[in-house]
Amino acid sequence: MHRPLLILWVILFMGFNAWFVNVYSGQHGLEARGTTLAKSSLLPRSTSTWSSPQLPKQRMDKKKKHSTTKERDEEFYFSPGAASLDARDREDSEDELLALSEWVLEENAESDDNAMREEKGEYSDGGGKTDVHASSQDVSNNGNTMDQHIKGNNSSSNNNNNNIHNPKSKIAWLMSFPNSGTSFTSLLIRHASNATTATNYGMEANPGVDGRSVPVYDWSWRGPYWLHPPPSSSLDTTNNGNSAAGGSKQLDSENTSSGTQIGKSGYYQIPPNGASILTKTHCGSRCTFCPPKKYLETWQSFLKMCLSGARSVPVDDHDSNNADNAENGSSNKKELKNANKGFKKEFVVYHPSIVEKAVHLIRNPFDNLVSRFHHEQKEHKKRKDTKWTSRYSNDVFGFRKWCADEDKLYWKEEQRMDWEKWGYSDDIRRYFEGVGCHAEFFRYVQWHNMALRVVQKLDIPVIYIYYEDYLTNLKGVTDQMLDFLNMTRVGDLPSFDSNKDYSDYFTLEERASASELMRQLVSDGGERMLKKYWVDLDFAKLEKQTQSILD
């Protein structure tokens, strides 16, 4: 007699619990998909609402193919709460996805990175190929090679190397997935050596006296550009509209957010003869909130992005006409804004023969992803984008909402993508399930895979610098880089402030499922470089322990 009452009580309790989870997740901007594992001592935190991981009992051979769906499915088990793909699709509101898609398209229209890559046509098929073994012709029209330019400069310049637009050195790439320590590394080398650094992105550099980006070489106006051009007399500006004049602003003054001081002389010097010029590049595979067709890369397209950048140039008469059109509503707001300033951004690509070395930065992937989210926060605040900042709070809840939105928005495109065409197992999409921000992890691993491949193709020396080593061995890491660049430490080192704690952004279980995804994506060289960050869990054992607690 009491049995029906007991069953009714259980049904009511489960209904109330489902209602509470749904309301709670909505208040905190979380995506509740399926039933999560019960809160227990086995899970370090209870903030997770991503699906439980859908993982194989052991690592699957990346190249293994399955003849039937049943054979493939037998290699997988579903831990409690793992939602199927069909169930996940049913949970998504078509109206919500449509609204989210329209909003993301508007956001991407404001992204300089996406604009640059769309303009170069690199989203459709991975971009054009760059033959790194072709003759080293200068990309300008005079026909001399990069080596001939530098050799000529060696014979014509004096020993003090004071011709700041024809230094006698090539560049060393500072290669980094965004937000993995690029700015600090560049600052560190400037302080330690009292010499300036360079960048592919002239728009972020100190401009010349006429407002143009100042190239490292006057015969390579396509870049790279001095980050802090030393002061000099103005020279002719007849080189394809490019200025050869040095700037005079002090970007590392005590009034800047870095709180550091500039070089001893008041300005950074040009790197000495024989030293490699450290040059920032983020390469490709780095967009945020974008579908697979925008971040999948070949090594050729990735190399092209490593060589790509932008510079600041005056708006010419044609652009002035565009400004008039913009005022009449026939052009976009960004064009009008740039035209009114008198300068515009021009995208450029330089030749690979200018590159002689590479410094490859590596950061913990979990921290790197959170840092990218915080960078997005800063950028949207600068643009006063209250719609974005109100949707994604600057905390763990906002981060998880940000991840869940991208996971949901591009899920169907990921299912339709021909992953084998890009060298991945057709089963790779199954590893996405239950991994929040799985596209970010994909881009992270692909970036490091491609960076290794490009350096190998260019056949240049490379050193690997781990972000956390700045905290434990700043002096040693600095000396290692200076020695690699053929430079000497003459200045004091800036302090490395890294009191950030992102441990609560991912549970241990989530780190393990993301680690398994990364294992499936990474190359052999990448695995040796990244495996120190991965987390291993025995999910079969964890499932049994969790079930015993539930029982």
Q: pLDDT, tens digit, for every residue of 314-365?
A: 876 344 344 334 333 434 444 444 444 577 888 889 989 899 999 999 999 9
DSSP 481: H
Which amino acid would we find at residue 327? Answer: E
Pairwise CA distance, residues 190 & 226, whole Å: 12
Cis amide bond preceding 215, omega within 30: no
404 φψ region: left (φ > 0), alpha (ψ -120 to 50), beta (else):
alpha
Q: Is the pLDDT of residue 258 over 80?
A: no
3-state SS class at 151: helix
Query: Is residue 388 very low, low, confident or very high in pLDDT (cuts 50, 70, 90)?
Result: very high
Lowest mean pLDDT among 36-40, 298-302, 368-372, 478-482: 36-40
* Whether residue 36 has pLDDT greater than 80: no
Which residues touch 84 (CB under 8 Å, ≥6 apart)?
none
Q: Which amino acid is at 119?
A: E
Among 27-36, 214-223, 478-487, the range scoring the smallest mean pLDDT is 27-36
Pick the residue with more confidence: 159 or 401?
401
Q: How far apart are the first and last CA of the chain?
A: 24
Most confident of 59-68, 103-112, 162-171, 235-244: 162-171
Least confident range from 3-12, 71-80, 384-393, 464-473: namely: 71-80
Strands of the 171-175 sheet, one edge to the other: 225-226, 198-199, 277-281, 171-175, 355-362, 462-466
H/E element, 486: none
If one counts every other C-beta atom within 10 angstroms of the C-beta of residue 538, the result is 11
pTM of the model: 0.68
Q: Which two tokens stand for residue 277?
A: 């010029």
* pLDDT of the residue at 396: 94
Identify the top-confidence range among 10-24, 193-207, 286-300, 436-450: 436-450
Predicted local confidence at residue 390, as pLDDT: 93
If one compares 229 and 278, the residue with the highest pLDDT of the two is 278
pLDDT tens track for 202-244: 888 888 777 788 889 888 888 899 988 876 523 333 333 333 3
Does 301 have pLDDT greater than 60?
Answer: yes
Is the confidence at residue 125, as pLDDT, over 70? no
- pLDDT above 90 (res 375): yes
Minimum mean pLDDT range among 68-77, 205-214, 244-253? 68-77
Percent with pLDDT over 70 in the chain: 56
Q: 282: exposed, middle or buried (C-beta count within 10 Å: 0-12, 13-18, 19+)?
A: buried
Give me the pLDDT at residue 322, please: 43
Using one digit for the tens of pLDDT, what is the confidence trace for 3-28? 666 666 656 666 555 444 443 343 33
Instruction: Determine which of 53-62, 285-294, 308-317 has the lowest per-residue pLDDT on average.
Output: 53-62
What is d(CA 417, CA 406) in angstroms, rounded to the nearest whole number?
16
The Cα 499–Cα 528 span in angstroms is 27
550 Cβ contact list (under 8 Å, min separation 6): 38, 80
Backbone CA torsion sign across 37, 41, 42, 46: positive
| DSSP calls for 327-359 | HTTSS-HHHHHHHHHTEEEEEEE--GGGEEEEE
Quote the pLDDT of residue 402: 94
How far apart CA 152 and CA 219 sit, in angstroms, is: 12
Backbone angles phi, psi at 54, to 5 degrees: -105, 95
* Phi, psi for 271 (deg, rounded to 5): -55, 145
What is the per-residue pLDDT for 83?
Answer: 28
Look at residue 497 in the predicted model and tell me its pLDDT: 81
For the stretch 147-161, pLDDT in tens is: 555 454 444 433 334
DSSP string of 406-419, one letter each residue: HHHHTHHHHHHS-G
Please tell me the predicted confidence (pLDDT) of residue 544: 65
**What pLDDT, in 10s, does the model give residues 444-469?**
999 999 999 999 999 999 999 999 99
pLDDT value at 175 more than 80: yes
- Rounded Cα distance between 274 and 268, Å, is 17
- Report the C-alpha dihedral over residues 442, 443, 446, 448, rounded to 10 degrees: -120
Over residues 241-250, the mean pLDDT reads 36
- Determine what percent of the chain is predicted with pLDDT higher than 90: 37
- Considering the chain, what is the average pLDDT of its residues? 70
User: What confidence score (pLDDT) does residue 530 get?
Assistant: 94
Strands 277-281 and 171-175: parallel
State the pLDDT at residue 32. 33
